Amino acid sequence: MADTTFHRALDSDLFWSFRKSWTARVSSLVLLVLFGAAIFAPWLATQNPYDISQLFLLDSELPPMWIDGGDPRYILGTDQQARDLYSAILYGLRLSLVVGFASVALAAALGITLGLLGGFLGGIVDAAIMRVADILLSFPAILVALLVNGIARGVLPPDQHADAAIWVLILAIGLTNWVQYARTVRGSTMVERQKEYVQAARINGVSGSGIMIQHILPNVLGPVLVIATINLGMAVLTEATLSFLGVGMPATQPSLGTLIRIGNEYLFSGIWWVVIFPSVVLVVLVLAVNLLGDWLRDALNPKLR
């Protein structure tokens, strides 16, 4: 079932539309490069930014190598702790993407489960899930993420904040973004429940749910993929924002957002590169994900617009 769907999609419209759309091709190429850089960061980096013993304070605040005073060992320059910016960005990108993907996975798993539950059970369970979803949706994502973050920090003892930061972020962003998945899956489930084969299964005393899941999951695969792609962009952005605000990744384990925050503190001393380079990488990453998401949405289901 899913296999043929996949091949059909690959054969015809999706692939055709991909070849036709230059934004789709450029953004996926950019993403491929960035994902590759993140995965192979330990091999591509010239320095391990987490290892303080590798930092030489004499080399701090060096500009990028092509500017006077630059050092060829530090391609994009160094920050005030003498961290090689190029390496820090590679590791930061890695962290940003890990948080992004993990929180999307959490949100998708949570949303699909709750959507199926709501759709199957209906009644009070469904009403409760959808009510919570409505309320959640009426608050800006960043506020919800901040709140979850704040509660987690309040519960955890302060000395564990730094170590738990990545899990807190994944949790906060994941809990914020499940609503769209739940709504989509619930809608499909409700449609499917009306169909004859489910009714027939019920009359025969068989629970229809097993068959339904088999039918629903391939149906929602497309929309869920679209939501997940667009979500990834949002998740990366939310992570960066939280880290920038100082409640995300700590300075000892900087993500892109943390790097930008560190750079921002030294903006007036003329060290512009610490803030600019991570920002550029972040913007390119988010822009590429968004463009790909836009394209995917149009290509898979023009009606979703």
Which residues of the chain form contacts with another protein (CB under 8 A)?
Answer: 135, 138-140, 142-143, 146-147, 149-151, 153-155, 158, 233, 237, 240-241, 244-247, 260, 263-264, 267-268, 270, 272, 275, 279, 282-283, 286-287, 290
| Closer Cβ to another protein, 147 or 201, answer by number | 147
CB of 143 to another protein, least distance (A): 4
| Closer Cβ to another protein, 35 or 272, answer by number | 272
| Closer Cβ to another protein, 182 or 240, answer by number | 240
CB of 267 to another protein, least distance (A): 6
CB of 141 to another protein, least distance (A): 8
CB of 160 to another protein, least distance (A): 12
| Closer Cβ to another protein, 45 or 240, answer by number | 240
| Closer Cβ to another protein, 90 or 230, answer by number | 230
Kindly write down the DSSP assignment for every residue of the chain, as one continuous string: -HHHHHHHHHHTHHHHHHHH-HHHHHHHHHHHHHHHHHHTHHHH-SS-TT-GGG--GGGTTPPPTTSTT--TTSTT-B-TT--BHHHHHHHHHHHHHHHHHHHHHHHHHHHHHHHHHHHHH-HHHHHHHHHHHHHHHHS-HHHHHHHHHHHHHHHS-GGGHHHHHHHHHHHHHHHHS-HHHHHHHHHHHHHHHTSHHHHHHHHTT--THHHHHHHHHHHHHHHHHHHHHHHHHHHHHHHHHHHHTTSSS-TTS--HHHHHHHHHHTGGGT-THHHHHHHHHHHHHHHHHHHHHHHHHHHH-GGG-
CB of 152 to another protein, least distance (A): 9
CB of 157 to another protein, least distance (A): 10
| Closer Cβ to another protein, 69 or 246, answer by number | 246
